[in-house]
Amino acid sequence: MMTKYGSRLFDQVFVRSGPIRWLVVGGTLLIAAIAVGAVLMAQNFRERALRNSGRELENTVLMLAHHFDQQLQDFAVIQKDFVDHVRTIGIASAEDYRKRLSGQDIHRLLRSKIEALPYMGGVNVIDAEGNLINSSTAWPAPKANVADRAYFRTFRYAPDAPDVLIEPVHSRISGAWTILIVRKIVGPNGEFMGMVGRGIEPANFEKFFESVVLGEGATISMLHRDGTLLARYPHSGELMGRNFRNGPFSQQRVFGLDHFAGRFVSPVDGEDRLIASHALPHFPILMMATTTRAAALTDWREQIGILISVAASSALAIAGVLIAIVRKLLEQHRLSRERLTLEKQRLDRAVNNMTQGLLLFDAEQRLVVCNQRYIEMYGLSPEVVKPGSSFHDIIAHRSATGSFTGDVDGYVARVLGDIHARNSMVVDTADGRSIHILNEPLADGG
């Protein structure tokens, strides 16, 4: 009869080497593949989100650069026309410049020129001493002097200064921040006679920046190529006029390139940001747009939530199916084991109730089955005659107990010599009994 230990061992063998093990291994590998696939997809989606956000920033600054380059060219035409007018009327000295350009006729001329774009700021005429001598916005011109301004000193004392300078300043007329574009005016011999300037309030640019939707956490800035902040959305009065070219090399190199796209830690808020910049073709101005990495990954986080839900649902579904299959197999195994146990019990009962003694050996001459009748016939010990005992050991035990007389080795050799043929013999026991023995060979060599 199958013992409790034997039943448990049979269960373990079934689980470890049977279909359940392969189901569990296959299911585990499938769930692992889903997890790995989800991770790889998440990483791919993340990089794609960052690339898309970076591309959006690049397109934005490209559009802004072309837009404001054209706008500033239109804006600067008035100054260029005024310089041409000064040359046309033959002004040749600083004194002549001061006298002929300070009249009301020049005020009306300037006023007529800005009527097309009045919101872009007035035109101011400055002499060689830095005095405001005429303006499109007021007559007579208010008293003001800009001799201490950096752009004026550059024009007056630097012979190789460019014709046009751009600088953010606090207006001494309006008191507000103004982006000043000034063009120098020189005489026939190259002497500095003065300059004509026009200011634009940053708010005009910032209103346009606001209309360009880039999402939460994004910024759009206009900077001079020397690093000076000219305009920014969201507006920050503390940052206006601040120079950002004095940071680390990675920050400085942005201002030396016509276009740039990458990532860096913002010097303003310390956030990890994506950045794109593009220079205006005809002005020393750089358009820059940034967004935080967290904002760039907002849609990605939503996608990841869906991806995790799908992956988890798939894994749970697979696990559920596996559990159901394993339970079904275990149930079938339990029923099969019970049937086997019942059949074993029936076989044991039938074998033990036989009037004949029965021994069954395998091909290695090891005992497989021995009924109780055989042990009783020869008065043997069940501790010796048990499954696994060799044929030689059993005959030797019979000899030791007196139920066999003769040469043990010779008898064993004779029986094994005829193992492949059906034969029978009659032996006499020590107590005077005669026993008929029938040897029946099996197909597997037992």
∠ CA 251-169-136, nearest 5°, is 135
DSSP string, 306-374: HHHHHHHHHHHHHHHHHHHHHHHHHHHHHHHHHHHHHHHHHHHHHHHT-SS--EEE-TTSBEEEE-HHH
23-70: pLDDT as tens digits = 778 878 888 888 888 888 888 888 888 888 889 889 999 999 999 898
Q: What's at 428, amino acid-wise?
A: D
Quick one: pLDDT at residue 243? Answer: 81
DSSP 119: G
| pLDDT above 70 (res 412) | yes
How many other CB atoms are found less than 10 A from the CB of residue 250? 11
Distance of CA 437 to the CA centre of its chain: 81
| pLDDT above 50 (res 419) | yes
| pLDDT above 70 (res 430) | no
Region 168-182 average pLDDT: 76
Quick one: pLDDT at residue 279? Answer: 92
215-247: pLDDT as tens digits = 788 889 998 888 888 888 888 878 887 888 877
288-341: pLDDT as tens digits = 998 888 877 877 878 888 888 888 888 888 888 888 887 887 787 788 888 887
The answer to whether the Cα torsion of 172, 283, 85, 191 is positive or negative is positive
DSSP 120: G
Quick one: pLDDT at residue 374? Answer: 82
Quick one: pLDDT at residue 278? Answer: 93
Quick one: pLDDT at residue 120? Answer: 62
- Of 241, 242, 222, give the one whose Cα is nearest residue 232: 222
Q: How confident is the model at residue 2 (pLDDT cuts 50, 70, 90)?
A: very low
DSSP 141: P
Quick one: pLDDT at residue 361? Answer: 82
Question: Taking the model in full, what pTM does it have?
Answer: 0.63
**Average per-residue pLDDT for the chain:** 81
User: From CA 73, how far away is CA 55, in angstroms rounded?
Assistant: 27
Question: Is 191 in contact with 202 (CB distance < 8 Å)?
Answer: no
In 136-200, at which residue ranges do the beta strands (DSSP E only) sit? 164-170, 177-186, 192-200
Q: How confident is the model at residue 402 (pLDDT cuts 50, 70, 90)?
A: confident
Residue in the structure block whose two tokens are 């008293």: 143
Q: How confident is the model at residue 173 (pLDDT cuts 50, 70, 90)?
A: low
- Map residue 428 onto helix, strand or coil: strand
Q: How confident is the model at residue 159 (pLDDT cuts 50, 70, 90)?
A: confident
Residue 31's DSSP bridge partners are: none
| pLDDT above 70 (res 253) | yes
Distance of CA 397 to the CA centre of its chain: 76
- Map residue 223 onto helix, strand or coil: strand
Q: Cis ω on the peptide bond leading into residue 118 (within 30° of 0)?
A: no
